[in-house]
Structure 1
Amino acid sequence: MNFEYSEKVQGLLEQVRQFMDEHIYPNEKTFHDQIEANPWETPPIMEELKAKAKAQGLWNFFLPKEYGDYSPGLTNLEYAPLSEEMGKVMWASEVFNCAAPDTGNMEVLAKYGNEAQKKQWLEPLLEGKIRSAFAMTEPAVASSDATNIETQIVRDGDEYVINGKKFYISGACRKTCEIMIVMGKTDAENPNRYIQQSQILVPMNTPGVKITRPMKVFGYNDAPEGHAEVIFDNVRVPAENLILGEGRGFEIAQGRLGPGRIHHCMRSIGAAQRALEAMCKRANERVVFGRPMIKQQSVREDIAKSVCEIEQARLMTLKAADKMDREGNKAAKDFIAMIKIVAPNMALDVVDRAIQIHGAVGVSQDTTLAHAWAGLRTLRLADGPDQVHMMQLGRDTAKRYE
């Protein structure tokens, strides 16, 4: 593969960097101040920045070209450096309408939704007018195996009735979250475990949908989107809200998670890169034991290891994206698993070194490092724990040598 970015991508990358420099980095404090004042409201600065980005055409970078006018037509490989740049600020992706879980939900609706579902939910999501959530994880079962999901989706005439409990439903706490894609079982007794599940659209204002609390992540509530605990108590939605058909939920989940996993990895590399830059700046400025910290051998080694590890992960991400573009998500599953294992662990190590070099301030609210560490540590669980990816990758690798 060619590791040089095309002229088109270089131009977009320069635009994104300029936008970050001019509008996002200077407003980080404003964003957090507004969140503290109204935790579950979209902060006014976000809407202001989204309007600016949209006006400049810096919008929906993630969406494949087959989805028409809403997409700039980038490949996964072309999107990778843009996502990395956005990943340097935890909330920046939303400014460009490229934030999870909306990206995955938009891909699901674009790929599997019918025309009515696209009109009602996909279009406002593509325009950035509403937010969404994906309700899969449950506290009572090991949800990394989607066949374990216990939420019931039962047909009753022209409606489906939903009962169950979910948690860590990212985005559901936000007041502008209007729709959830819910995964549950429509045929729990089917001997084929992979066609027991279905996915269905559930508007947040449906009677019986109860957000009981926001789940915290290492003490952070991750406002304004949050990670909700949600109870579905005899929730009734029209039968036409079912996506694709009964028994297709596992298939949809697999189609959704491939791109989502690599997007997380792209952003992780951006977070690691920003931590490296902070590490270098601190080492050059801080004086310890009578001389600049950068003169300390251990500090130089930490910086050197971080540079190497970031570049290794970046190249692996680009290779996975390239294979997805050329051969499809299924053919690239091994590379997606590899980078999902490697990137969050790498970024955690880099951020940890940056925290160490910053000392006490590294664990405070005065840098972005502590919150970045919490988010990256959680990413080792999100979209499948490390152990699941390693189990499947090890199995598939060994099979080739039977």
Structure 2
Amino acid sequence: MTITPPALSVFETLESEVRSYCRSWPAVFDRARGSRLVDEDGHSYLDFFAGAGSLNYGHNNPVLKRALLDYLERDGITHGLDMATTAKRTFLETFQNLVLRPRDLPYKVMFPGPTGTNAVEAALKLARKVKGRESVVSFTNAFHGMSLGSLAVTGNAFKRAGAGIPLVHGTPMPFDNYFNGTVPDFLWFERLLADQGSGLNQPAAVIVETVQGEGGINVARPEWLRALKELCERRDMLLIVDDIQMGCGRTGGFFSFEEAGIVPDIVTLSKSISGYGLPMSLCLFLPELDIWEPGEHNGTFRGNNPAFVTAAAALRTYWADGELEKQTLDRGEQIGQALLALAGEEPEPGFGFRGRGLVWGLEFPDKRRASAVCARAFELGLLLETSGPESEVVKLLPPLTVSAAELDEGLRVLARAVRETA
């Protein structure tokens, strides 16, 4: 594919230097459907980025679009703060009937602000309120958002530095396999909790991603997650699972922690919960933790009613049975086999891959190569991003609705990009 970079434009002259994705993908995108985007020059791109996980059901999903258009055409409520609306009621009832009850999850539902970091801030605030303590434990290479509370439990040094002030009341611990299996799980954590001279204040909570997306596709083992849950119960700490990117079916089950068989005290959801890329987030928690005073935590855009409409439609369409979960696991196996074959071609030691469901990462010993692979893939018509603390991992995040043929096409392009950057 021959791509002509857009000419000097309003993006460069007016938009802030903080923009990032547009630097990796120098095109002006115009429309999208399913697993493909098209730029204003008519070039088509296969999307293995999916709005950073916000488009699990693809771009402009026709079923969700129809529900949204019908709602808007009848002048349905678009902005409602936390007022009761028919759209919110339909979403809550659908979420309870298709997601919570089938999994025996008794969670209360809170609508914080519309983004993932809003949900994390609400979870941290609630945990501290419930326990009356300030300290929260997070994990190496974690990413939980860009607002100050979320940054305090995020590991990435570059993102943390942007805060401009000290980030306090968060303590990092080693994530699963951080020491490559040479150290028993939670040895350091347990020792600090037990030692009165360790300097670790008794934590209110522990926050964890079951798969660290921005941190490099680091996959926690189910047994590690179960041990973490047991440790939290034994040491009177709440367990918060950040399922913002890995929830809504990304790893197979609706929640990424289902495989481990645990019930977190608090769960955060965002990104694909609306189903259509509309801003929406949830903070879920056990009923006994619901000690909020009315209005104690709020936000102007916590009642995004169009998002409630598309969210309910997504649940009815994809979560009334187990077909999407089965398909996601099948597609994940397809990716795993392709990456295994690609690994066999790599002569350099240290090349590796890992993932679950439809989130996978390829790590290169030459940390610069991941960016080169993504750049070449873009030239060939495939959107990929990097992850990891040094952008050393190529991240695969296709829509859950991607067809087997589209997935095969993208994997062939990825293989070509890897070979041509060797």
In the superposition, the TM-score normalised over structure 2's length comes to 0.27
Which is bigger in relative contact order (C-alpha 8 A, separation at least 6)? 2
Higher helix share: 1
